[in-house]
């Protein structure tokens, strides 16, 4: 066993259970070479910032060579670095520098599909039907007399058909391949031993380089039952329960992760993993089990209305589910796929965010002040919970969604595959503002790869570092205080007469209270160590969380 640069006998194998993990979307974080695209040396240059923020780990979204048909989730080569982002040496330097700063590194792994530029896919296209090269993917003959219809009427998650027809090496129209996402993301065939072995090699490749864990993209899609005849979409959608769906959340997927776990356990401390699995809550524990990936994302708060009862139900249910697999829960409000939570909370509960973005983000008008108030209150609440909290770059600045990206600057395949229906996810992926002014607000020396709005400077790291009341200063304080809560995983609810407040106590008599209502509420006796907004005459105002000891 090679230990990699992360080797340290004294490292706690449970470090992940209550970690604060900061997601870096590398192409939009910091651009060291001025080409408009963030890179690994950019990450290294901002390690002092990450350290001062007080996070425990970074989750790095894909940094692999990619044509960016899906923001890097279309991987050309799993064991390399996109030359625009750096080299493997830069990667090693980044790992060493993060570890030196006491920060762990989790990397994204994308096992459901490669890109269509992956050497396996190129080989599959150049090889005949039924060849071993095609067996690594999911190729089928088309329906209809000349095979000109897709094998089934399934839709891609980004809109449009989930099957694309290829030209055979002799130039004639030929077979179809499955892509649950964009057509540039052909799905792999996980029944193929070579595919499985190659991913084990990839897990070891990065683990040997000192990576501490993996975030597993669309973890619930790998196992597929594609026995003919393929069921039509209507049948799949209407009748099949989870566990027997032809591609989502099949029970056999866990055999794959049992093999991965053996690889993780070859290392000290064992490598960790977190599943991105869009499954019903009760199906989550298997992904999060100790003989599987160990942890699974819970996106329930990310989708919940701003409502005390909804938050309480979700928290109770997820703590219970985490206990069922001896994992710890995860809490997430924002990531690279969703509208930033400061903006979501600026809109009335129940707003259809797709439709709202499509309308240019104007109807209804967002109440940005309320949005930020609620976002801060929600984050402080989550930071008081047992489990790990996943933060998305820029939320510590209170950044809002960018809603006015012109069509010709958009990059998300969801925009191109759904004309007039969706604008996609670019609005939360705009490069971060580091300075008040300057080219790309300090992101780099050149123009950023997605346009930044004029108001970004006010939310820059530079501006917020100077402002004592800023969201950045608030996050720093909260993360520093949270360290005291990371020792135990107990939580006790305090029942209150005012149903609009959520109140719980953590060990050491640490109270967290959130006011979801419209009137200020009384605080219990104790010292307020932090509040997400100023108190009002000693009371907790609306849309505010306070911590007391
Ligand atoms: C995951 C990623 C998303 C990507 C998709 C396909 O949901 O978070 O960004 O588009 O998988 O890889």
Cβ atoms of 128 and 139 closer than 8 Å: no
Residue 381 has pLDDT above 70, yes or no: yes
Q: How does the average pLDDT of the chain come out, rounded?
A: 95
- Residue 224: name the closest of 198, 187, 193 by CA: 187
Confidence of residue 487 (pLDDT cuts 50, 70, 90): confident
73 within ligand 1 shell (Cβ under 6 A): yes
Ligand 1 center–CA 475 separation, angstroms: 27
Closest Cα to atom 12 of ligand 1: 73
Instruction: Identify the band that residue 239 occupies on the pLDDT scale cut at 50, 70 and 90.
Output: low
Could you tell me the pLDDT band of residue 418, with boundaries at 50, 70 and 90? confident
Question: Coil, strand or helix: which one is 318?
Answer: helix
**In contact, 472 and 48? CB cutoff 8 Å:** no
Cα–Cα distance, 441 to 461 (Å, whole number): 10
Q: Is the CB of 110 under 6 A from ligand 1?
A: yes
Cα–Cα–Cα angle for 213, 218, 220, nearest 5°?
A: 100
Lowest mean pLDDT among 7-16, 23-32, 112-121, 386-395: 7-16
% residues pLDDT > 90 (the chain):
93
Residue nearest atom 7 of ligand 1, based on CA coordinates: 218
Which residue puts its alpha carbon closest to atom 6 of ligand 1?
73
Choosing from 39, 76, 108, 217, which is the catalytic residue? 217
- If one residue of 24, 62, 70, 278 were mutated to test the ligand 1 pocket, choosing by the most ligand atoms within 8 A of its CB, it would be 70
Cα(391) to centroid of ligand 1, in Å? 17
Predicted pLDDT of residue 486: 87
pLDDT at 3 over 50: no
Confidence of residue 98 (pLDDT cuts 50, 70, 90): very high
Q: Look at residue 489 and give its three-state secondary structure.
A: coil
Active site residue 489: no
Given a cut of 50, whether residue 500 has pLDDT beyond it is: yes
Cβ–ligand 1 distance for 181 under 6 Å, the answer yes
By most ligand atoms within 8 Å of CB, the mutation choice from 217, 299, 392 for ligand 1 is 217
Asked if the model's pLDDT at residue 166 lies above 60, the reply is yes
Average pLDDT over residues 410-415: 94
How many other C-beta atoms lie within 10 A of the C-beta of residue 153? 16
CB-count exposure of residue 55 (10 Å: 0-12, 13-18, 19+): buried
CA distance 113 to 137: 9
Ligand 1 atom closest to the CA of 336, numbered from 1? 9
pLDDT surpassing 70 at residue 428: yes
> Does the pLDDT at position 241 exceed 80?
no
Confidence band, pLDDT 50/70/90 cuts, at residue 517: very high
| Any ligand 1 atom below 6 A from CB of 91 | no
Q: What is the CA radius of gyration of the chain?
A: 23
Q: Is the pLDDT of residue 8 over 60?
A: no
30-52 tens-digit pLDDT = 999 999 999 999 999 999 999 99
Q: Is the CB of 502 under 6 A from ligand 1?
A: no
For the CA of 110, the closest atom of ligand 1 is 12
- Our answer on whether the CB atom of 217 is closer than 6 Å to any ligand 1 atom is yes
Give me the mean pLDDT over the 145-170 stretch: 95
CA atoms within 13 A on the CB side of 393: 28
Decide if pLDDT at 399 tops 90.
Answer: yes
Ligand 1 and 25: CB distance under 6 A: no
Q: For 86, left (φ over 0), alpha (ψ -120 to 50), or beta?
A: left
For 510, the 3-state DSSP assignment is: strand
Question: Distance, CA 239 to ligand 1 centroid (Å)?
Answer: 26
For 403-429, b/e burial (b = at least 16 CB within 10 A) is bebeeeebbbbbbbbbeeebbbbbbbb
Q: Place 243 in a pLDDT band, splitting at 50, 70 and 90.
A: confident
- Which of the residues 266, 307, 337, 498 is marked catalytic? 266
Mean pLDDT in residue range 408-413: 95
- The average pLDDT across 221-225 equals 96
- For residue 337 and ligand 1, the question of a CB distance below 6 A is answered with yes
Q: Is the pLDDT of residue 298 over 60?
A: yes
SS3 522: coil
**How would you write 270-286 as a 3-class SS string?**
CCEEEECCCCCHHHHHH
SS3 342: helix
Pairing type for strands 501-506 and 492-493 reads antiparallel
Is 352 in the active site? no
Average pLDDT over residues 386-413: 97
Give the pLDDT of residue 238.
Answer: 79
Q: What H or E segment, with its residue span, contains residue 513? A: strand 510-515
The yes-or-no verdict on residue 7 having pLDDT over 90 is no
């Amino acid at each position: 066993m090679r230990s990699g640069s992360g080797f340290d006998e004294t490292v706690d194998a449970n470090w992940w259970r209550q970690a604060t993990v900061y997601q870096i979307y590398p192409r939009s974080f910091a651009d060291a070479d001025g080409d408009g695209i963030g890179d690994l040396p950019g990450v290294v240059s901002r390690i002092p910032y990450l350290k001062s923020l007080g996070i425990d780990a970074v989750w790095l979204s894909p940094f692999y060579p990619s044509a960016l048909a899906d923001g890097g989730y279309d991987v050309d080569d799993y064991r390399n670095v996109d030359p625009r982002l750096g080299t493997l040496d830069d990667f090693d330097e980044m790992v060493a520098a993060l570890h030196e700063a006491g920060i762990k590194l989790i990397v994204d792994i994308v096992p459901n599909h490669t890109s269509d530029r992956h050497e396996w896919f190129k080989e599959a296209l150049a090889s005949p039907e039924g060849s071993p090269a095609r067996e690594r993917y999911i190729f089928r003959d088309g329906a209809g007399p000349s095979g000109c219809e897709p094998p089934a009427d399934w839709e891609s998650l980004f809109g449009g058909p989930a099957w694309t027809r290829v030209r055979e090496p002799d130039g004639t129209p030929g077979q179809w391949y499955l892509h649950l996402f964009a057509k540039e993301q052909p799905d792999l065939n996980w029944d193929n031993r070579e595919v499985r072995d190659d991913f084990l090699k990839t897990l070891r490749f990065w683990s040997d380089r000192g990576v501490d864990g993996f975030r597993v993209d669309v973890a619930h899609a790998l196992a597929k039952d594609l026995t003919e005849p393929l069921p039509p979409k209507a049948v799949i959608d209407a009748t099949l329960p989870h566990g027997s769906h032809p591609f989502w959340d099949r029970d056999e997927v866990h055999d794959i992760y049992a093999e991965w776990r053996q690889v993780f356990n070859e290392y000290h401390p064992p490598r960790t993993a977190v599943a991105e699995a869009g499954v019903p809550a009760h199906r989550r524990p298997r992904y999060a089990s100790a003989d599987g990936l160990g942890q699974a994302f819970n996106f329930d708060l990310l989708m919940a209305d701003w409502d005390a009862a909804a938050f309480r139900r979700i928290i109770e249910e997820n703590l219970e589910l985490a206990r069922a697999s001896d994992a710890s829960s995860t809490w997430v409000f924002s990531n690279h796929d969703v509208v930033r939570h400061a903006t979501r909370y600026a809109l009335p509960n129940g707003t259809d965010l797709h439709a709202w973005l499509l309308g240019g983000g104007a109807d209804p008008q967002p109440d940005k002040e309320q949005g930020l108030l609620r976002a801060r209150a929600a984050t402080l609440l989550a930071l008081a919970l047992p489990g790990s909290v996943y933060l998305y770059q820029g939320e510590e600045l209170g950044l809002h969604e960018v809603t006015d990206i012109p069509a010709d600057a958009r990059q998300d395949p969801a925009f191109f595959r759904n004309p007039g229906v969706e604008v996609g996810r670019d609005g939360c992926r705009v490069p971060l503002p580091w300075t008040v002014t300057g080219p790309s607000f300090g992101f780099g020396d050149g123009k950023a790869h997605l346009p930044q709005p004029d108001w970004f400077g006010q939310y820059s790291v530079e501006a917020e570092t100077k402002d004592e009341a800023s969201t950045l200063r608030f996050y720093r304080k909260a993360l520093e205080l949270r360290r005291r809560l990371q020792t135990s995983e107990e939580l006790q609810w305090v029942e209150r007469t005012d149903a609009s407040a959520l109140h719980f106590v953590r060990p050491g008599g640490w109270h967290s209270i959130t006011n979801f209502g419209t009137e200020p509420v009384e605080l219990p006796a104790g010292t307020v160590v932090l509040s997400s907004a100023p108190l009002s005459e000693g009371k907790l105002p609306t849309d505010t969380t306070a911590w007391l000891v």
